[in-house]
Amino acid sequence: MGDCETRQGAYQDSLMNLESLRKSLVRQEDTIIFSLIERSNYPINSLLYDRQSSASFFHCFLKESEAVHAKAGRYTSLEENAFFPDDLPPPLLPPPKQEPALHPSGACININEKILDLYMKTLLPLIAAKGDDGNYAATAANDLACLQALSRRIHFGKFVAEVKFRDAPQDYTPAIRAKDREALMKLLTFESVEEMIKKRVEKKAMVFGQDVQLQENESTGKYKVKPEVVSQLYGEWVMPLTKIVQVEYLLRRLD
Amino acid sequence: MGDCETRQGAYQDSLMNLESLRKSLVRQEDTIIFSLIERSNYPINSLLYDRQSSASFFHCFLKESEAVHAKAGRYTSLEENAFFPDDLPPPLLPPPKQEPALHPSGACININEKILDLYMKTLLPLIAAKGDDGNYAATAANDLACLQALSRRIHFGKFVAEVKFRDAPQDYTPAIRAKDREALMKLLTFESVEEMIKKRVEKKAMVFGQDVQLQENESTGKYKVKPEVVSQLYGEWVMPLTKIVQVEYLLRRLD
């Protein structure tokens, strides 16, 4: 997990609260939907992902891009998790001024392998048309943007879990001590909130993915990414994976 | 101008026409506005652009990112122009299947230096708040997306000029032979079309930059990037620079 140890720094309190996290999560929905719409500009372009002798072109693109980002200090932020966290070059720029606000044991949780697998096998065929137009670099750059946006959103579960724990440690401590994943999952699940989020991202996909015309006119019902795919993405993957991050974080919270 | 010579290939006809170019330009408006909205998430973060001993951190980020993109074949596409075209590594992936559709002399026009300067000095202060939040890598990645989107849009003038010339060579030939930039600029200027584009991108900035709420409610009049800035960007820079590219292209069209 690379330089995770070195970036924990002092484990301090911060002004972080559920309302500020919620605001960021809502804003991140826009980023995720923009990135999906941009990726949908290109067909699958599967040559990019074919395994050559060892790794695919995309694997190299992602790894090399992360190295460039690492030098600019991306992974000194606790909000960012690399897909290939080993052997990243050190940052050349000073780290963000934010105070670390995560418990050291949970800060290093990284489920990007799962996110990458899901993106490739399940999400990509839902947002990109079949075919190959040869625009591999633009395609890879858009994949990178999608993956970073999804990874950031899902790993935000660490901050959400931290704040929830601080607000009511008595609610979580028994289940943590009992290592009871199921009980923790129950404590973290609010179905009505999840339904509302699914509806909101579906609406956002309609607003951001429409063909904007100068004249006010009837909706064509055509969107760049199917709104129901975005709702499904959130309902089946983004929110469940965020909760898995939360559960794993809480399980380490008393270490 | 790097490998510009090698990517001209056979100068052939294609199915390119004004309608397909127009469609692409309209779609590129969305990409540009999404990228500006994403950049506006972060403050200026000027440390990124401060010149150190020689180059700024951002200069290095841009150069290194372009190297990664070059390996994935970005600059084998005539639609793409690098900001640092010298010493780019060769592509590891096959070039796009599109047939080259530009006259070889004009294909190499590259005004990215002007675009970069404009972006840094004029556009950035209009879309990013003052301050520094330390998120340099995310900021630089968003700058890269903005710059690539603007560069692509502006250099699209080459394709527009090529199609316009093919459709009516007799209209352009006298001014080209006379090297009359002013006359060419006049031939390429349609004020009513430009006004319509300015209005459309302003509307897009409102649609894409709004806070989407689940409940239908009054517009708050607050947008992530000021719609009038996007209109100004198009009116003062994007369209004039595209026309400069067109004029320069036409001047070489009979070489």
| Average pLDDT of the residues in B101-130 | 96
Hey, are the CB atoms on A93 and B69 less than 8 Å from each other? no
Hey, are the CB atoms on B73 and A196 less than 8 Å from each other? no
Residue B211 pLDDT > 90: yes
ipTM confidence: 0.93
Hey, are the CB atoms on B200 and A212 less than 8 Å from each other? yes
B3 contacts chain A (CB < 8 A) = no
Joined tokens for residue B111 = 């005004």
For chains A and B, CB pairs below 8 A equal 138
Q: Pick the closest to residue B40 from B155, B133, B118 (CA basis).
A: B133
Hey, are the CB atoms on A47 and B141 less than 8 Å from each other? no
| Average pLDDT of the residues in B226-248 | 98
CA distance B149 to B29: 9
User: How far is Cα of residue B175 from the mean position of the Cα atoms in its chain?
Assistant: 26
Question: B18 and B167 in contact (C-beta within 8 Å)?
Answer: yes
Q: Nearest by CB to A68, which of B65, B72, B133?
A: B65
pTM here? 0.94
Q: Could you read off the pLDDT of A197-250 as tens digits, one per residue?
A: 999 999 999 999 999 998 876 677 799 999 999 999 999 999 999 999 999 999
| Average pLDDT of the residues in A17-24 | 91
Q: Could you read off the pLDDT of A140-156 as tens digits, one per residue?
A: 999 999 999 999 999 99
Backbone phi, then psi, for A77, in 5-degree steps? -85, 135
Q: Which residues is B56 bridged to in the sheet?
A: B51
Query: Beta-carbon neighbour count of residue B18 at 10 Å?
Result: 13
For residue B252, which amino acid is it?
A: R
Interface test with B, best of A69, A98, A132 (most B CBs within 10 A): A69
CA distance A158 to A103: 9
CA distance B14 to A186: 59
Q: How confident is the model at residue B3 (pLDDT cuts 50, 70, 90)?
A: very low
Residue A14 pLDDT > 60: no
Q: Concatenated DSSP letters for B77-88?
A: STT---SS-TTP
Q: How confident is the model at residue A16 (pLDDT cuts 50, 70, 90)?
A: confident
| Average pLDDT of the residues in A3-24 | 64
Average pLDDT of chain A to the nearest whole number: 91
Q: Could you read off the pLDDT of B72-87 as tens digits, one per residue?
A: 999 999 999 999 999 8
A61 contacts chain B (CB < 8 A) = yes
Residue A57 pLDDT > 70: yes
Query: Beta-carbon neighbour count of residue A106 at 10 Å?
Result: 21
B28 contacts chain A (CB < 8 A) = no
Find the largest Cα–Cα distance for chain A: 61
Q: Could you read off the pLDDT of A76-130 as tens digits, one per residue?
A: 999 999 999 998 999 998 776 666 689 999 999 999 999 999 999 999 999 999 9
Joined tokens for residue B200 = 């459309």
CA distance A178 to A171: 13
Hey, are the CB atoms on B135 and A96 less than 8 Å from each other? yes
Question: B137 and A74 in contact (C-beta within 8 Å)?
Answer: yes
Hey, are the CB atoms on B137 and A199 less than 8 Å from each other? no
For residue A192, which amino acid is it?
A: S
Residue A9 pLDDT > 60: no
Q: Pick the closest to residue B35 from B209, B244, B163 (CA basis).
A: B209
Closest chain B C-alpha to A174 CA, distance in angstroms: 36
